[in-house]
Chains A and B, each alone.
Chain A
Amino acid sequence: MGRSERDLIIVGGGIGGMTAAIYAARAALDVVMLERAVCGGLANSSWNVENFPSYRSIAGLELMQKIRSHVESYQVAIEEMTEVTHVDVESRQKLIDTSSGQYAAKAVIFATGASPIRLPIESGCDERVHYCSLCDGPAYRGRDVVVVGGGNTGFDESLSLVSLGVRSAVIVECMTMCRAEQSIQKQAFSTGRITVRTDSRLSAIIPHAERLRVAVEHLRSGVMDEIAADGVFVFIGQKPNTSMLEGKVKLDKAGYVIGDARMHTNRPGLFAAGDVVAKRYRQLTTAMADGTIAALEAARYLRECV
């Protein structure tokens, strides 16, 4: 496997990376986008996106396919199923080793996103613990589930489950109130099939006959309770995909890349965009803004510094 030299390497094919690719291609940069799976990132799993300007409502997978087609229309080299194995970002010429060869460029944008956090308990029945309603929800038609996590994703996935025919979904949230937007909470409660238990933590999943006994602890009172269910769906947040950058780029305590308002990291020529960046709001639209800025700044860097 040889070395491929480019103007710009984008690591990650989520919406931040894809937006950066469009802007970089329009700036006439020779750009390659490396994606370890398929383009689209976490948004591929969104049942319904309702806050993306120009679409009142669209499936995440469909939206990401449209954006990927847009990127393709600029003849950007898209390398999917390409795992990054090592990065060398200390010198001016940056080297990215992957499962399909080495890439070199003077500018790199990291848009590697974040991955869902797994349920931190041993269940003994992993086949009934899930992380994707569209993948595994249809098996629970007419049955009852517990959803762990009361953020936007937890509510969106609960609505997806109900639309797939799930009889009831109990959302378990450890905070005193759910963080999801009011509009999606209202939509969920209007189904009459989604309920919430706040201040509560899932502590065990015990197989019982054909079903599950889901043990839930009320955090303020310490009282334990059990919910009879058939499956558990987990949406308790994400962790940044930055293990390859540890010790090489400034990260915050949670592992997110610290960048400035122009998406520069502490390494010249190395930029970051999307959910991998340390920030308060992680939305499709904020990732797009990051990708835009990172690509324009990368183009400027290549013009001025090389």
Chain B
Amino acid sequence: MLENMTVLTADTFQSYTADRSCLVLVFRRQCPHCRVLMAVVDKCRPLCPDLPVTGVDADESPGILDSVGVTKVPTILVYRNGHVSGFKSGVMNPSELLALVASSKA
């Protein structure tokens, strides 16, 4: 689990993402690919200081996955002012994550 990562639940997800810009990492605790993506996110954190990192535990909050259309973990959602402006499932390397973040600004 990443340090300083707020884990959102069914009670907090909507209100947290309503008007914020942030990264949401959808993960499972026993998922090895999620561990890889957490390391990628951690490495990229200093390069996207405007995007606090949050998480959603897919096993604890399956309803959130349905509401945002996530079928696989790990998945990264990039929120800009409350809207999903970037979305990608699967493991990616740091440059791919940074490209996703950059494309979400357009």
Q: Chain A: residues with CB nearer than 8 A to chain B? A: 36-38, 40, 44-45, 59-61, 80-81, 83, 99, 127-128, 130, 132, 134-136, 138-139
Contacts and interface: CB of A to CB of B under 8 A. Distances in A.
Given A44-B32, A45-B32, A135 B74 contact: yes
Given A36-B93, A83-B93, A134 B31 contact: yes
A99 B96 CA distance: 13
A136 B72 contact: yes
A167 to B, nearest CB: 18
Interface string B22-33: 000000101111
Contacts of A59: 30
Interface stretch (B4-12, B13-21, B35-43): B35-43
Contact of B30 (A36, A61, A127, A130): A61
5 contacts: A37-B91, A81-B39, A132-B32, A135-B72, A138-B59
A285 to B, nearest CB: 20
Q: Which 3 A-B pairs have the closest CB atoms?
A: A44-B32, A135-B31, A37-B36
Contact of A135 (B28, B39, B40, B93): B28
A128 B71 CA distance: 8
Contacts of A83: 93
A194 B39 CA distance: 35
B58 interface: yes
A127 B91 contact: no
Contact of B35 (A44, A136, A138): A44
Highest count of chain B CB atoms <10 Å: which of A80, A127, A139: A139
Nearest to B73: A135
A139 B71 contact: yes
